Structure 1
């Protein structure tokens, strides 16, 4: 009998040993034991510390919403005057910068033949009036038939019409101010010839002066005709006015509405065409005043503030910007009991558990210094 080789004997022993281990059934607990060991290891590791944030509960204020609009000043009325007939300028009393009243003569063309026509028409009218009076007397005394008086009255009416036509034709040679205002520009010279329709002068009405701008569709609901407005001019002057007009037809390109502010300008010191910033004050609303550093962005990119709720969880509240003042941002839409994070708000996210502590005196002092733009 051939001897069993050593390697075959070793393989046989391993096979027997493996079969015996399989019979015990202990192999099924290897995976669960590893999982339990991993959990135990994690449990033994220290948890991440809870972050501490500083919070305040700001006081509430009633503040009028400020809607700021970029615009410019414009004249209340603007007229470019032109001649109705051609001719040579005989009189030019209008001067640039001159104040004029409604109906004041600004320019007159040479019209000798038209003046003569008016004089002749007046003489004819006097004659026809005398003839009509004589015919009336003769009819009353019975010395003339009634038909003769009717003819005289008809001739009188014709003479009146001819005089009115001659005066109207003469008036075409004159250019008068259509309203009270200032002669801003004179485009012709005395003695020059002009054609019918030639531009001769520009008249502006600057009292009141208008500040015009475009208001956004979201802010339109806060403004109404008659509201007070503040207009800051590019030269640094600030004047007050009243909303006079709000368009109800939005611009197709910008989706904004034209708005006009009427400003008293009795001395005509505010010119037309000056850049202006219009601030319209709406009704007061409940708000809080906070420094700009408190405002942050949510995970979705919304602008707002972070606060801590009763469960020590971080919450996010979108804000409604009511006004931007030297004292800070005036914000609406914040719950009354909100504990606003003023330190550490950019280091936490919504849903995080934090430890909230009231802001200490130093933090409050720094916030106050930031709000007022200085030190305390």
Structure 2
């Protein structure tokens, strides 16, 4: 009875082992087949990868680099006119905003006192001249003494010089324009007393203006007279071009800057003294070079720069070196000739060798 039970148990164990082995074999074979199918599918997708991009055709262009400083508009003909004598103002012959010519009378003062002195001196001079001529005539005939002749001569010449001095002083009672320009402001009114310590008016000539600016000493070796400058006047919305006329020879120890001067045309008189100007000064120039947008630059983990170009409708990775950048553009000093067709939009989605669909 015992032996048959033992055989039955052995047979049941063997059956279980056979079924388990079959299950393991089935599962293992299915996983291998599925893995092979996935691998084949991935390879097929890789081989058929086609990336939609846009392109940018390069052409050699000139590259300019600028730095920006601020300056102020100035003019040599911006004058406060002061009286030279204290006197009462009897007339103002101009109004604010008037254009005047050089030598034109602007104001007149009460000059009655000095005019009376001149009239009196002229009478005395006439008498002195008569006496002098009579004494001279007598002396030529050896009549009279030499002292009388010399006294008459001295008196006449002295009065003549006094009259000349008074005439010069009377000129102070008339204020004339020292140069042609615009009367910008008139301070006093008719009937008020003019004081040499107080200005009468401001006269400005805007036809010839210039700009002065302080530039840090680090640019001293990078700019020179004649360099191109783009000048922007933010307050009036005006942009003009000019050149550096002069570079100063003194460095201010307080702020380590030197001065530059630019002449400006002001035909429309839109530029006013002390108007703020922004100067873009060219400190680097290269002609016929490869220039690309900085947005196309990419870097390897080691910091090397590269871009993607379109070659036979495939992406080609090109290692480059860039120089200076300005306003979103970079000069390429090595790696590009300037005639390549670069990948623009989509450049960060491609890999070297990808098929491309140019949009």
TM-score, length basis structure 2? 0.64
Q: 2:333 matched to 1:329?
A: no
Q: Which residue of 2 aligns with 1:90?
A: 90
Distance (whole Å) between structure 2 residues aligned to residue 290 and residue 313 of structure 1: 15
- 1:103 is paired with a residue of what secondary structure? coil
Identify if the C-alpha distance between structure 1 residues 113 and 337 changes in structure 2 by more than 3 Å, giving closer, same or farther.
Answer: same
Q: CA deviation at 1:59?
A: 4.9
Q: Is the 8 A contact 2:56 2:344 kept in 1?
A: no
Contact 2:214 / 2:259 at 8 angstroms: preserved in 1? yes
1:121-150 CA distance string (max 9 Å, x none) = 333333333433333333334334444443
| Cα distance change on mapping 1:292 and 1:190 into 2, 3 Å | farther
2:168 matched to 1:164? Answer: no
Residues 133, 305 of structure 1: alpha-carbon distance in 2 compared, 3 angstrom cutoff = farther
CA RMSD of aligned residues (A): 4.4
Q: Secondary structure at the match of 1:190?
A: coil
Cα contact 2:317–2:352 (8 A) shared by 1? no
- Contact kept, 8 Å, 2:187 with 2:199, in 1: the verdict is yes
Q: Distance in 1 between matches of 2:67 and 2:87?
A: 53
Aligned length: 297
Q: CA deviation at 1:318?
A: 5.9
Deviations 1:134-179 (A, max 9, x none): 3333333433444444333322321122123322332333333232
Whole-angstrom CA distance in 1 between matches of 2:354 and 2:254 = 49
SS at 1:289 equivalent: strand
Distance 1:336 1:194, change over 3 A: same
- Say if 2:324 is the partner of 1:320: yes
* Structure 2 residue matching 1:199: 3-state secondary structure: coil
C-alpha distance in structure 2 between counterparts of 1:253 and 1:315, whole Å: 46
Cα distance in 2 between the residues matched to 1:170 and 1:318: 73
* Pairing of 1:133-172 with structure 2 (within 5 A): 133-172=133-172
Q: Structure 2: how far apart are the matches of 1:97 and 1:177?
A: 14
Offset of residue 100 of structure 1:
2.3
Distance in 2 (CA, whole Å) between partners of 1:144 and 1:110 is 46
Contact 1:211 1:278 in 2 (8 A): no
Contact 1:207 1:266 in 2 (8 A): yes
What is aligned with 2:271? Answer: 270
Change (3 A) 1:307 1:168: same
1:289 to 282, 288, 291: 291
Shift of 1:262: 1.4
What secondary structure does 2:206 align onto? Answer: strand
User: Structure 2 vs 1, CA of residues 227 and 129 (structure 1 numbering), >3 Å: closer, same or farther?
Assistant: farther
Distance (whole Å) between structure 2 residues aligned to residue 359 and residue 225 of structure 1: 52
Residue 69 of structure 1, CA deviation: 3.1
Could you say if the C-alpha distance between residues 70 and 123 of structure 1 is closer, same or farther in structure 2, counting changes exceeding 3 Å?
Answer: same
Match in the other structure for 2:239: 238
1:70 touches 1:213 (CA, 8 Å); kept in 2?
yes
Q: 8 Å contact 2:231–2:241 — kept in the other structure?
A: yes
Q: Give 1:257's aligned residue.
A: 258
Partner SS for 2:205: strand
d(CA) in 1 for partners of 2:335, 2:318: 16
**C-alpha displacement of 1:57:** 11
Deviation for aligned residue 1:79: 1.4
Tell me if structure 1 keeps the 8 A contact 2:101–2:179: yes
Structure 2 unmatched runs, 5+: 1-52, 308-315
Cα distance change, pair 142–204 in 1 and its aligned pair in 2 (3 A): same
> Are 2:186 and 2:200, in contact at CA under 8 Å, matched by a contact in 1?
yes
